[in-house]
A and B are shown apart, each in its own frame.
Chain A
Amino acid sequence: MANEFESIESVMEKLADARYIADRALATVLFLAHRLEKPIFLEGEPGVGKTEVAIVMAKLFETRLIRLQCYEGLDASSALYEWNYPKQLLHIRLEEKGARAREEIEQIIYSRRFLIRRPLLEAIQWDGERAPVLLIDEIDRSDEEFEAFLLEVLADFQITIPEIGTLKAERRPMVVVTSNRTRDVHDALKRRCLYHWIEYPSIEKEYDIIKTRLPGIEDRFAKAVAGFMHRLRDVDFLKKPGVSETLDWARALLAMNRNALDEDVVEETLGCILKYEEDIRKFKEEIWSDEEKRAAYL
């Protein structure tokens, strides 16, 4: 297959081609996960590009990304499969006048036609040429019961539907699990995964990210934005801006036809970077009103 990962270097190259800037540690984890068919468990502050990893992986392997967004109350029937009850009931009504035997009808309504496939089943039943990438996003939002259930699925990628039988994945999907750490995820689940913590990027890395994502941007301007954001993350905000905020901001500035940072434009576009009223106030009062500090940022 053309899209095999041969070595860590090739992973890094391919990621760069796909416009994702990764350090060697992350590339190593992806490489190992691919080779050993292990899920990856990604943690990190919001907006550092956890979800992006899965999207890029799907791009690299030229396969589909199947996404399961977790939320409180997520259960097996919306993650795995569900019988299409209304369709079944309708079918029974239609068959009432027919001549089919009861067993026959039963067999029909419990066939795959009446099965609603949810993300996990879809990943298992995938019949494409290449294994799909399964993204389980924000696992920390789901309930603990769901975690236990997920554990079962991730262990051997097979599920049993009583009416149909056991379904087993022909190709193990690449699994990426992300968490924002609003609660601890159970050890048993983490144990099955390779762990990686994505940190805020260094100035150089952030500069690279801006340059690759926004090719039209001037070097000097990109450098200024990266430096600004880097400095900003040293301040105690309720919500520190992530890389996605950096990109949003740079995009906004470009759209405003700016190519340099100055006092006014920063103040006008502060909403792109800081998302809490309290943070904005703090920034204005403690940093922006002080001429010396302000100069350091620009």
Chain B
Amino acid sequence: MRKNGRPIFREGQPDTPPGVAGWVAGFALFLKSRGFRVFQSAVLDTLRCLGQIDLSLRGDFFNALRANLVSSDMEWAQFESLFHEYLDAAQEEPPEETRESPSGGHGEKKRAPGGEFLPDVETDTSTEADRPEERAWLEGVAYSPVSELEKKNLADFDQQDVQVAELTLKRLMAPFTVQKTRRSRRSRKGGTLDFPLMMRKSLKTGGVPLDLFYREKRKRLKRLVILADVSGSMDRYARFVMPFLLGIRGIGSRAEVFVFSTSLTPITTLIRHLSLEKALERISREVPEWSGGTRIGYSLHQFNQEHGVTLLNRRTVVVILSDGWDLGGRVLLEREMRNLRRKSHTVIWLNPLAGDPDYEPICQGMKVALPYVDHLLPADSLQSLRRVGRLLARVVTH
């Protein structure tokens, strides 16, 4: 398929707004189906912008679309390939024909919003029951891959899902903001004027209140400590859930993060600068016997020993990410869990296996640890991550 040189709109169409408007609207819906955050107003703005430029220049057309429809670096990175994908799909079959023959007779084909037919494409061969047998590339009338994706197990994600999911995750993280409390404290600047204090201090200058004092509301935020199991089976899962935890507004960026398999490694300073992916790569290079197995008890012991004093207090929320398969000793794990629980505010355990309705904490590690865990959540799909987010928003701020 030729990507360059071919006009996007058919001859005679560039100046007719209906053709352009329809195309842009269709494209916007397509982006939305891929997890983009596209607003009605952005579509209108795009059309206004397109009125200002020469539509026959493909580069400018592309730039104008991108400036309006993209709103984050992640979307920026995906935009170009999606643009071409949509163009290619649109040019496979001429729009005129499809407009005249609506979906009747095309039972197994989805009708794209732009008016084009696109073949269903099978992207996955997994046998899970809740997945439709065919997946459309484009959003159909009553079909949204995003909502479908919400229930899908993280472990079954394929590459394309990952892209969509990353964008969805961002959206999930947004609503949790730090609540302010009623308690206030003195502040140099900002907040409301503290009149009593001003009066008192004004006595020094003969009743002329020259200095201003303020009170502002105090933010109370608990400390979040994340202990993530990245050994073999958990690795993939951790790579999904951790960006989510770290991305939660106002909480995630302050979290202290540790990863463990056979031993514990702090990665807080690393991920401040590198992406999680790169940070994990670096650790697996530096730490010997990295994926040798899991020793939760020993790792927790290390944490309590080396970081417990500085990080744990009654305002610390600990999130442990592990499936609970432990190769270490049971006595040690129990002791360390007890320590952890006693010194922290809340212990949350995210276990991907817990999503299964028949799940029972039979594996030894989990059974031992369970009495000391306040919340056990699955966090194995986007939907359950939403639940985790809500829980954290409630627990971490007060």
Contact = CB atoms under 8 A, between A and B. Distances in A.
Chain B interface main SS type = helix
B189 A78 contact: yes
A144 B52 contact: no
Contact of B63 (A25, A73, A93, A187): A25
A238 interface: yes
A164 interface: no
B249 A28 contact: no
Given A85-B212, A89-B209, A187-B37, A236 B278 contact: yes
B52 A32 contact: yes
A191 B210 CA distance: 43
Contacts of A236: 274, 278, 282
Contacts, number: 97
B170 interface: yes
Contacts of A196: 67
Given A35-B52, A239-B273, A29 B67 contact: yes
A86 B193 CA distance: 13
B274 A238 contact: yes
A183 B190 contact: no
A144 B64 contact: no
Nearest to A86: B210
A187 B208 contact: no
Interface in A255-287: 276
A197 B79 CA distance: 12
B38 to A, nearest CB: 10
A195 B70 contact: yes
Contact of A36 (B48, B189, B190, B212): B48
A176 to B, nearest CB: 13
Contact of A195 (B53, B76, B273): B76
A56 interface: no
Interface residues of B, number: 40
A29 B282 CA distance: 38
B177 A144 contact: yes
Contacts of A73: 189-190
Contact of A186 (B60, B174, B270): B174
Interface of A: 8, 24-25, 28-29, 31-32, 35-36, 38, 41, 43, 73, 75, 77-78, 85-86, 89-90, 93, 144, 181-184, 186-187, 190-191, 194-197, 236, 238-239, 276
7 contacts: A24-B63, A28-B67, A89-B209, A184-B247, A191-B39, A194-B68, A195-B66
Given A32-B67, A238-B274, 11 more contacts: A25-B66, A28-B53, A29-B63, A38-B45, A89-B209, A89-B210, A184-B170, A190-B72, A191-B39, A194-B68, A238-B270
Closest 9 CB pairs of A and B: A238-B273, A28-B63, A190-B71, A194-B67, A197-B76, A25-B63, A75-B190, A29-B67, A35-B52
